Structure 1
Amino acid sequence: MKSTLYYLLVFLLFFGCKNESGLTFEQDIFKSETCAECPEISIAIPKALGNAKISRTINTALEEELISLLSFDDEVEVSSMEDALKSFKSGYLELQQLYDDEPTGWEAKIEGSISYEDDSFITIILDSYLFTGGAHGYTSKRFLNFDKKKGVELENDELFKSTEDFRIFAEEMFRKKEKIPEGKSINHTGFMFEQGSFYLPENIGFTEKGITLLYNPYEVASYSDGAIELVLPHSEIKKYLAKKPKS
């Protein structure tokens, strides 16, 4: 009897801790109205369940990103997803009134997924495609990093002990990957870094493979080059990190 009680306590202790530090998600889906005058909108993102601080932080951050992507009138305050969807539709209808011979509708496709999670960290990536007229649409990715224990979103600078030390290392790896000779300008092979100096991208996020540095189209290269990515394995970056994710 003693033995059975002991193992039961161990079981409850182990799984109780695991659930406390874990997060549960459901898929949140937004779609446009079905009508001839409506832009095509398809959004599917993870929604953190529960009332924990980290859940509220994640959901707020994702909503803010979606609002930023879909808002098309700087003079109108947009504070909710409902407002953002209306803003996107209004922007399309206003353009149609100005250019009624424009045959192509607008489109927004956004998908969110968890690219990394352990007991302390979680990274969510948003893949988006927006078409609002012109020759082609715009594809982009956005990494959002969170400290689960503190319940806060992390800025890029908070990921590293020294951002400058990491930048120097990242440039060395970038040059090696892109075959840019040491001593030559970072733009030697056709990149378009401002002022000819390497800098870290706005998008930095954890994956199971390591940490990804992601430059979206137009950031450091032409649209035809697509997104520029550099993946650095966990084993190579852990000494630069302020806190080490489990790999």
Structure 2
Amino acid sequence: MKRLGILLISLSIIACQSEKKTAGQADSTENSDLTFKYDSLQVFSKQVKTAEKGNADTAYAKIVYPVFTDQKLNQLIEKKTIKAAEQTDTSTNKTYQELAASFIEGFDSINKDPEMAQSGAWFLDDQTKVLVSRPDYLCLEHSNVNYAGGAHPNSAMVYWNLDPKTLNEITLESLIKEGSLPELTAIGEKIFRKNEKLSPTASLKDNYFFEKDTFSLNRNFTITKEGLKFLYNPYEIKAYAYGSTELVIPFSELKAVAKPNTLLSPTP
């Protein structure tokens, strides 16, 4: 069970049990026309309960996010962050502050009632990082780790691929030739089986969660210097204990399926 110690109590006092917002240094990625800085906020619960061995059970929410000069882009990132953190399209929260506050309110509400009170500290750690920032490609990595009771924390990481000019999503289908997804999937499965030390005919039924026990590519990808990288989160294709799974398809393997003049067919 997650515990927060004396240090967290001290931090809560320093923060006056209120929001704390810190501006980051101006930053940008290599060869980028999109400059940004990181900003953050932290919210602590006013409820602190003494727990075992002098520890304290309370709650905090921390959100880190990039701030660009383009306000429409900032609004899009904020909207996507809230949707990803809450995994819903119907949230009443509209800002980072509201997202953090609602998490703390959930902890406070439960622990006001002695019959419903839970032992163990709650936390929300939500971060959005800029992985790639180029005139033709913006990739953001959004990670969310949270604990609100239960056997263990929950975590998820997703990539947001955007066209910086239009702010439209860059989809996998927009990068590969029409009808070539089965071929790309076959390439991915070959690499997956090699990484997992599976034979070409080994069953995926017992140790994996693929639908109909058939390998498939998800849509959680980013484009790296090595190629097309997919990420499967905990519980997505394996048990929680195995964590996340990465799969990288090198550019050399994408020549037959990549559309010309796209991010998957870089010029030498």
Give me the TM-score of the superposition, normalised by structure 2: 0.72
Given the alignment, which residue of 181, 192, 204 partners 2:199? 181
Q: CA RMSD in A?
A: 2.8
State the partner residue of 1:28: 39
* 3-state SS, counterpart of residue 191 of structure 1: coil
2:128 aligned with 1:128: no
2:126 aligned with 1:110: yes
2:219 aligned with 1:202: yes
State the partner residue of 1:65: 80
In structure 2, the CA distance between the partners of 1:24 and 1:75, relative to structure 1 (3 Å rule), is: closer
State the partner residue of 1:244: 263
Give the C-alpha shift of residue 97 in structure 1.
3.5
Give the C-alpha shift of residue 76 in structure 1.
5.9
In structure 2, the CA distance between the partners of 1:125 and 1:73, relative to structure 1 (3 Å rule), is: closer
In structure 2, the CA distance between the partners of 1:198 and 1:73, relative to structure 1 (3 Å rule), is: closer
Aligned length: 222
In structure 2, the CA distance between the partners of 1:160 and 1:76, relative to structure 1 (3 Å rule), is: closer
Distance in 2 between the 1:232 and 1:208 partners?
11
TM alignment of 1:1-247, pairs within 5 A: 22-33=33-44, 35-36=46-47, 39-51=59-71, 56-57=72-73, 59-71=74-86, 77-98=92-113, 99-161=115-177, 162-187=180-205, 190-242=207-259, 243-244=262-263, 246=266
Q: What residue identity is the alignment partner of 1:114?
A: V
Give the C-alpha shift of residue 183 in structure 1.
2.6
State the partner residue of 2:51: none
Task: Give structure 1 stretches of 5+ with no counterpart.
Answer: 1-20
Task: Give structure 2 stretches of 5+ with no counterpart.
Answer: 1-31, 49-57
More displaced stretch, 121-130 vs 152-161: 152-161
In structure 2, the CA distance between the partners of 1:73 and 1:124, relative to structure 1 (3 Å rule), is: closer
In structure 2, the CA distance between the partners of 1:34 and 1:101, relative to structure 1 (3 Å rule), is: closer
More displaced stretch, 119-128 vs 178-187: 178-187
Q: What residue identity is the alignment partner of 1:68?
A: K
More displaced stretch, 160-169 vs 233-242: 233-242
In structure 2, the CA distance between the partners of 1:238 and 1:129, relative to structure 1 (3 Å rule), is: farther
Give the C-alpha shift of residue 40 in structure 1.
1.0
Distance in 1 between the 2:217 and 2:39 partners?
31
Distance in 1 between the 2:166 and 2:256 partners?
22
Over residues 118-150 of structure 1, what are the superposed CA-to-partner deviations in whole Å (9 max), with x where a residue is unaligned? 331121111221111112101221100012233
Distance in 1 between the 2:250 and 2:197 partners?
19
In structure 2, the CA distance between the partners of 1:193 and 1:148, relative to structure 1 (3 Å rule), is: same
Give the C-alpha shift of residue 46 in structure 1.
1.5
Distance in 2 between the 1:240 and 1:170 partners?
12
Give me the TM-score of the superposition, normalised by structure 1: 0.77
In structure 2, the CA distance between the partners of 1:234 and 1:61, relative to structure 1 (3 Å rule), is: farther
